[in-house]
Every structure is written in structure tokens, then in C-alpha cells.
Amino acid sequence: MSLDGQTLYRFDNGLRLLVDPMPGVKTFALNALIHGGARFETEAQSGWAHLLEHMVFKGAGGRDARALAEAIEHKGGSINASTGYEHTRFEVRGLSSLLPLALEIVTDLMFRSELDANELQREKKVIAQEILEAYDTPDDHVFDLLQAAMFPDQAVGRPILGSRKSLSPAKPDALRAFADTLYAPHRIVICISGGVTAEEVLAAARPLIDPIAPQSGFAAPQALRFSPGHAVQKRRIEQANLTLGFGAVGRTDPDIIPLRLFGEILGGGMASRLFQEAREARGLAYAIDSYTTPYRDGGVFGVYAGCARTWRRSAN
């Protein structure tokens, strides 16, 4: 299927491949977007999507962690990944000649990871440190408090990192079953743009993707339920971190565009109303901004301010 110069392929297992050639460019960007993240976890599995994203880099397709990193970076490319509430993402950028290897490694990460038991135990310790680091960063941790207050007893109200308690029971077999479901091919779109042609991308991708068996995937998560409330955590630090969250529209709602525009006007930069009034005119906060986080069936519009704890009432 051709879409204004782009070509979309759909494989028998449901995976989609979108190619956007850019003649004259000598590089490419690859983005494998998986419709699956922390929102699809049970409470007992909290943090598993993020743990899985870490674990696939510990060994996949016959390469260990070092070989996976060096295969891309020693050729001048970059590779990264991230986990959100609704999506997991794998990214590679590099010279166009690196594309076949990039496709091989990304498909290995998604479908041919090893999930070694010893590596799993070590990685749990690494993520435990990441959890502590987030807690020790108040202007990060405050958003976990806000999510929990807005979405109690829901996956989007729990930290993406999970907790040491929820990560502890994760064993290789259980994580493999979770991976097969979360990374089901029909929930994945691989997008490639740059100095490539649709034909050469398909030729490189077909032998890597065709053998992958279809999987059932997760059912749709429970509908979002926004709840008004508040949360306060007192800590012996000098700054107060304030957040306000409002229920908002989802990413496909027509109002998402005007909402984003409103957010830019209100708190999108140094010329925004909040920055000019709260920081420049009144000196109440060092950092203040607004943000929009849309999900499939709802979202959040929020405001953040970091101010001296003695000024927090004025900031309110």
C-alpha cells in the first residue's frame, strides 16, 4: 500500500512495516513502536514491561549485551529503547548501509531475546537502583504521586518502573510468556525513514519477520477512570514540588490539537503566561510549565512548579 510516497507492508503475522524514502539522504531512522507498555500489566506484574525492555538488551539473537551495543555503535550508529504506559519503543539511527543490521538486531530484541536467569537477577538490582534514583529526585517522584492520585487502583496510576516487590517474582519463563503477549507481531509497527528504498527494506525485513509466529496479544486495558483528589509527601528538602492534574482528551480526539496549543500558551516556554507571571513578575518559582499526556481513551493536562517551600501557598 502506497501513502503519499510512503509504502506500508503488512506481514501474515500482522506486523506492519512503513517505509518513507528520502532521496539524497545518506542516513536512516528506524523506530519499532509496540502497542504495549505498563498499562497492560496486572498489579502483580507492575514494572515488567520496563524490566523486559532492559532484559532484551542482555542477550538476543546469539549476541550478548556488549555485542548488541557494539554492533551498532562501532559502525557510528545509535540504539535506544523506552517504555511508557501504552507503548514500548526501539530506535536505531545510522548510515544507510547499517539498515540491514539494524533490522536484524531490533527484531532479535523483540522476538529472539534470551532472558537468562542470572542476567535477570542482576538487572533487577539495577532497576532497584533506578527506582531509588527516581525517589531521590523529587521533581521526578512528584509525578508518580500525581498519577497515583488521579488514577487509583489502575495500571496508569502505578510507576512504570514498578517496585522491588512486584519485580521480585519475575522469572525467565514468566517473563517469556509476558514478552510473547506484549510483543505480539500484530501490535507492532516498524517505521523506517531516510536514504532507503521500500524494495531494499522489504528484502532485508522479510526473512527476519516472516518466520515470527502470530500471538494473541493482550486484550484492551480497562477504561481510564480519572479521580479527583490530592497527595502530599513531606520530605526534608528545601524545595516544594507542586503538580496539578486535570482529566483531558485522548490522542485521537479532535480537541487534542487545541489543547496542546493552549498548553504551549499557558506553560510551554519562557514566553508562556505561567513563566512570565509566576517567575518573571513574581519570582515565585524557578521552574514552572504545563504539559499534555494523551492516552488512547483519555488523558491528562498538568501544571508543574518547583518553588521554595515557604512560597508554596503563593504558588498555589
Catalytic sites, residue numbers: 53
**Which one, of 259, 246, 244, lies nearest residue 303 by Cα?**
244
Sheet of 78-83, strand order: 2-3, 6-10, 16-21, 188-194, 27-34, 88-95, 78-83
- The residues, ordered by sequence, that sit 6+ positions from 58 with a Cβ below 8 Å of its Cβ are 64, 65, 113, 114, 115, 116, 119, 120, 123
How far apart are the C-alpha atoms of 188 and 132, rounded to whole Å?
A: 32
Q: Which residues contact 104 (CB under 8 A, 6 or more apart)?
A: 61, 208
If one counts every other C-beta atom within 10 angstroms of the C-beta of residue 91, the result is 17
- Contact in structure between 46 and 163 (CB atoms under 8 Å): yes
Residue with the three cell numbers 514468566: 174
First CA to last CA across the chain, in angstroms? Answer: 53
Neighbours of 78 (CB within 10 A): 11
